[in-house]
Every structure is written in C-alpha cells, then in structure tokens.
Amino acid sequence: MSIEHVLFGVFALLTVVSAVMVIVAKSPISSAMSLVATFFFLAGIYVLLWAHTVAVLQVLVYTGAIMVLFLFVIMLLNLGEATTTGPRVTLARVAGGVAAAGLLAVLVTAIWRIPSASTFTGSQAMSQGFGTLAVIGQTIYTRWLLPFEAVSLLLLVGMVGAVVVAKSRI
C-alpha cells in the first residue's frame, strides 16, 4: 500500500463526511462552508490522479466563484436557522431515499465492473498531453461547447434570479 492509496482514502473519506455535513447542517452558512471543504478535498483527489489543471480549476471556479455566489445569495435572502418540528415522512422524502438507494446500487455495480489495475498500464491509459490546458480547452470548445454554454447561461439566470428575489426586500 503506497502513500497515494492512503491519501486517496483520506481525501475520499473527508469528501464524503463534508458532503454529508452539507446535507445535515442546520445553518445555511455551515452547509455552504461544508461544501467548500468538499470542493477542496475533491481537488486533492484530482491532484492524486495527476489532473493538476482540473484541481486548480476546481478550486478557482467552484470554491472561489460559485461558492461566493452561493454565500451572496444566502446573505441576501437572510436565511436563518432551519426550524423543524420533527422527522416527517413525506412522499418526496421516500422517493428521494429510493432514488438515492438506486443510485448507490448503480454506482456499486459500475465500480464492481471496472477492470483491475493489472489489465492496463498507465502509459496506455494516458495520452500525450493528458490534463494540459490545450487538450482541455480543445475538448471543451469543440466537443462540449453546447453544454459549456448552457451552464454559463444557467449561472447567469441564477444570478439574475437572486437579484430579482432580493430586490423586493431591499
């Protein structure tokens, strides 16, 4: 067992723990800070996978830009502590639980079918220039241009929506 395997296990465990904290935190600010931690731990996993460019983009774009937008919206809406009367079983919660269990089953099945590491070597798996900005940029702006632009439009609509919702309170 190498140090990479140990670090991967630590980052994976911390990613899952901080992602669970996003869900169970009572305060929206605590939830947002847990999401920041999740993004950082995920960037650590990217570094271990030799995808340094993706790790830097993860920190810059998601942790830096998207989370600032989330925090701005949370502060504008003045969200406080969530008040719940107790655990209620609703149809939406049951459907969400069933969907999460189904997704977990699909994920476990997909991981089970991954070939072992002995069937391929690292030189076969990575092409020349893997993870470089040139290859990533060429892929994003040729093959994935429409989804890339759709995401940017979705973020713009989210920002405009946050301003419209907050404007009625100002």
pLDDT in tens, 85-94: 667 788 888 9
Yes or no: say if 135 and 143 are a contact pair by the CB < 8 Å rule. Answer: no
Q: How many CB atoms lie within 10 A of CB 98?
A: 10
**What residue ranges do the domains of the chain occupy?**
1-86, 128-170
The DSSP output letter for 25 is: -
| pTM score of the predicted model | 0.59
- Alpha-carbon gap, residue 97 to 95, rounded angstroms: 5
pLDDT of residue 29: 84
Report, as an integer, the average pLDDT of 18-25.
Answer: 92
Would you identify the CATH topology of the domain 1-86?
A: Four Helix Bundle (Hemerythrin (Met), subunit A) (1.20.120)
